[in-house]
Amino acid sequence: MTNVIVLGGGISGCVCAYRLARSGFGVTLVEKGRGVGGRMATRRMGDARIDHGAQFFTARDPRLKSLLSDWEKDAVVRPWYDSIAGRPDIPTGTRYRGGEGMTSPAKFLARSFQVEKSFFVDKIVRSEQWSVVERMGENRVLKADHLVVTFPGPQVVELFDRSDFSLDAETMDRLKAIRYTRCIALLGLLAGPSALESPGTVTHPNADVDWVSDNQIKGISEQPACTVHASDEFSQKHWDSPDEVRGPYLTKVAEETLGTKVTDWNCHRWGFAKPLVTFGADYFHSAEQSVTLAGDGFGGERIESAFLSGWEAAERIVRNP
Q: Kindly state whether residues 135 and 16 are assigned to the same domain.
A: yes
Distance CA 9, CA 302 (A): 16
User: H or E segment at 66?
Assistant: helix 62-73
- Choosing from 233, 251, 270, the residue where a domain stops is 270
For the stretch 10-61, pLDDT in tens is 999 999 999 999 999 999 999 999 999 999 999 999 999 999 999 999 999 9
Residue 193 lies in a domain: yes
Position 83 pLDDT exceeds 70? yes
Query: What value, to the nearest 5°, has the Cα angle with vertex 49 and ends 96 and 106?
Result: 50
For the chain, how are helix, strand and coil distributed in percent, rounded to 5?
Answer: 30, 30, 40
Q: What is the pLDDT of residue 93?
A: 82
Per-residue pLDDT, averaged over 189-205, amounts to 96
Residue 145 lies in a domain: yes
Residue 88 lies in a domain: no
Q: CB neighbours of 175 closer than 8 A, spacing ≥ 6? A: 153, 156, 157, 167, 279, 293
Distance CA 247, CA 271 (A): 17
Residue 65 lies in a domain: no
Q: CB neighbours of 132 closer than 8 A, spacing ≥ 6? A: 5, 7, 30, 121, 124, 141, 142, 143, 144, 147
Sorting pLDDT into bands at 50, 70 and 90, what band is 86?
A: low
Distance CA 231, CA 222 (A): 28
Residue 62 lies in a domain: no
For the stretch 265-319, pLDDT in tens is 999 999 999 999 999 999 999 999 999 999 999 988 899 999 999 999 999 999 9
CATH number at residue 192: 3.90.660.10
Phi, psi of 318 (to 5 degrees): -60, -40
Q: What is the pLDDT of residue 137?
A: 79
Residue 127 lies in a domain: yes
Would you call 96 helix, strand, or coil by DSSP? strand
Per-residue pLDDT, averaged over 143-164, amounts to 97
Would you call 97 helix, strand, or coil by DSSP? strand
Distance CA 291, CA 74 (A): 34
Position 3 pLDDT exceeds 80? yes
Q: CB neighbours of 195 closer than 8 A, spacing ≥ 6? A: 258, 259, 260
User: H or E segment at 249?
Assistant: helix 243-258
Q: Kindly state whether residues 284 and 312 are assigned to the same domain.
A: yes
Residue 160 lies in a domain: yes
Residues 240-246: contacts with CB under 8 Å, at least 24 apart: 243/267, 246/184
Q: Give the residue numbers spanning the domain of 213.
A: 180-270
Distance CA 255, CA 136 (A): 42
CATH number at residue 155: 3.50.50.60
Distance CA 76, CA 119 (A): 26
For the stretch 54-68, pLDDT in tens is 999 999 999 999 999
Q: Kindly state whether residues 117 and 215 are assigned to the same domain.
A: no
Q: Kindly state whether residues 18 and 111 are assigned to the same domain.
A: yes
Q: Kindly state whether residues 219 and 254 are assigned to the same domain.
A: yes
Q: Kindly state whether residues 8 and 107 are assigned to the same domain.
A: yes
Position 121 pLDDT exceeds 70? yes
**What is the domain count for the chain?**
2
Residue 79 lies in a domain: no
Sorting pLDDT into bands at 50, 70 and 90, what band is 108?
A: very high
Q: Kindly state whether residues 174 and 185 are assigned to the same domain.
A: no
Distance CA 239, CA 246 (A): 9
